[in-house]
Chain A
Amino acid sequence: MIPAEVFLTFILMLSIFLGFELINKVPATLHTPLMSGANAISGITLVGAISLAGTGAQDLANWLGAAAVALATINVVGGYMVTDRMLAMFKKKGS
């Protein structure tokens, strides 16, 4: 049985290479939406925060988790919405 942390590190390594390949193909004109979109994706911490905020234990970890849920949601909702607002403005000539 391969230990869990080896699996996680493996995933990390592959994701980094994949990220470089994907992002290198994004044209300079889209770099601001890329950044705000990436920002929204980094709000994925929300997924980790959710399980910590719902334990039902009225302890410190629960409060920290709830605060993290709020902060990460700002990132996710704000990030995707503002990226969409920007991308809607990009138009090709004559359209």
Chain B
Amino acid sequence: MEHVIQYSYVVAAALFIYGLKQLGSPATARRGNMISAVAMLIAVVAALLDQGIVEYQWIALGVVAGAVIGGAAARMVQMTAMPEMVALFNGFGGLASLLVGWAALVPGAETFTLVTIILSILIGGVTFTGSMIAYGKLSERIGSGAVLFSGQQIVNSLIVLGILAGSVMFCLQPDNHLWLYLVVALSLVFGIMAVIPIGGADMPVVISLLNSYSGLAACAAGFAVNNNILIVAGALVGASGIILTQIMCKAMNRSLANVLFSGFGSGKVEATVVEGEIKPISAEDAYYILEAASNVAIIPGYGMAVAQAQHVVKELAELLEKNGAEVNFGIHPVAGRMPGHMNVLLAEADVPYDQLLEMDDINPRMENVDVAIVIGANDVVNPAAREIESSPIYGMPVINVDKARTVFVLKRSMASGFAGIENPLFYKDNTRMLFGDAKESIGTLIREFS
């Protein structure tokens, strides 16, 4: 029977890998996810065959409760709320790994096992509370700003020292549970302390990183309970999170250390003076320019999702295409609140994925664009990133909408963006500001067309 179980894990690992491979293209991604789910089912059934299992009622109770909660959450969640949900699920994964590590502790365990137990408790605990804080910040249940106080570094250093000391003592005296409880408590506190100094604008990096941690925690738990499939699956998730973290950091031109330790995005506004004047435009005049355009680029930001404007944007794009224009969407990697978030929001509004261009694909085409429409985006189209060396976002790759012949910026008012940085784009000669609620402004444009 042990052979059946172990070979089932081999099959499951192969299917996880094949499923992830299918995720390489939108055409096969859905099947890839199914294959991955089948792999999970095989692994779970194999685990149930374990001869050490004599009672099934607690397992059944846990599975039913988890499936009801998870299924309900997956059905009800709004696509705009995906980042919060991923953060919440990450946290549950982390806590599960913490509990497995803890439960795996048996008297007389070897030092190697003890080290992996403490690692799974530590990573799992940090992932759990860190994700809960990220969830709170993303869902705005707690303030999304960075929380900084004097002596923060000293407090954090003491916590890290406490964790190290507790871990070493635990490995030396595994029968004294005081050390175990100390590490559990401190790792939970450390997760909170690690995420509170990070501002709302940096949350895409944080959830990517926590995603990676939840995988690594599963990996450590795999070592603790001596199980291959946990290690393989956990490592795949860990690698995925690390790659996404890197992509997010690169898209913001910041190092990971800078994101984690600087408290950027806390709303400190640099006083850059921008010259020029704001040129507002009415929806009617905007219509005449759009009507004559043969190449239109739409650059959405999170503000578009907040205004629930994605469906009218899709309608406008269709009308422009019927009018003979080529329409593309330019998506900045940090346009949403998590990697790829904007693509999901547009997919929900039935925008075909081949119309969504990545930043590196749309920028070379920008000089041929007649009208670039910026909807609810600010920092990701800010030319200060190229032009003003003193700007906090200098060097960040942006979508160069200012190189298009005309730029429309749809904006509620002149307040600065999520990161609180002045935007010279609004003052450029070829920029026209279309003030008002994005949904209403586009609604007016659509009525002009029909």
A-B contact count (CB 8 A): 370
Q: Which of A27, A83, A90 contacts B24, CB < 8 Å? A: A27
A76 touching B239, Cβ below 8 Å: no
B344 touching A19, Cβ below 8 Å: no
Q: Which of A38, A66, A71, A95 contacts B241, CB < 8 Å? A: A38
Indicate whether A41 sits within 8 Å of B36 (C-beta atoms), given known contacts A23-B20, A35-B208: yes
Least Cβ–Cβ distance between A39 and chain B, in angstroms: 5
> How many Å lie between the Cα of A66 and that of B57 in the bound state?
10
A68 touching B96, Cβ below 8 Å: yes
Name which residue of chain A comes closest to B110, CB basis: A5
Q: Per-position contact with A for B334-350: 1 when CB-CB < 8 Å, else 0?
A: 00101111011001101
B177-220: which have CB < 8 Å to A?
207-208, 211, 214-215, 217-219
Seen from chain A, the residues whose Cβ lies within 8 Å of a Cβ on chain B are 4-5, 8, 11-12, 15-16, 18-20, 22-56, 60-62, 64-95
> How many Å lie between the Cα of A50 and that of B62 in the bound state?
9
B70 touching A47, Cβ below 8 Å: no
Seen from chain B, the residues whose Cβ lies within 8 Å of a Cβ on chain A are 16-17, 20-21, 23-27, 29-30, 32-34, 36-37, 40, 43-44, 46-48, 50, 52-56, 58-59, 61-63, 65-67, 69-71, 73-75, 77, 79, 82, 85-86, 89-90, 92-93, 95-97, 99-100, 102-106, 112, 207-208, 211, 214-215, 217-219, 221-244, 247, 331, 333, 336, 338-341, 343-344, 347-348, 350, 352-356, 358
Indicate whether A73 sits within 8 Å of B62 (C-beta atoms), given known contacts A32-B343, A41-B36, A89-B348: yes
Q: Which residues of B contact A35 (CB under 8 A)?
A: 86, 207-208, 211, 240-241, 244, 338-340
A90 touching B92, Cβ below 8 Å: no
B354 touching A93, Cβ below 8 Å: yes
Q: Which residues of B contact A56 (CB under 8 A)?
A: 54-55
Q: Which of B99, B106, B338 contacts A32, CB < 8 Å? A: B338
Name which residue of chain A comes closest to B61, CB basis: A66
A77 touching B239, Cβ below 8 Å: no
Name which residue of chain B comes closest to A87, CB basis: B30
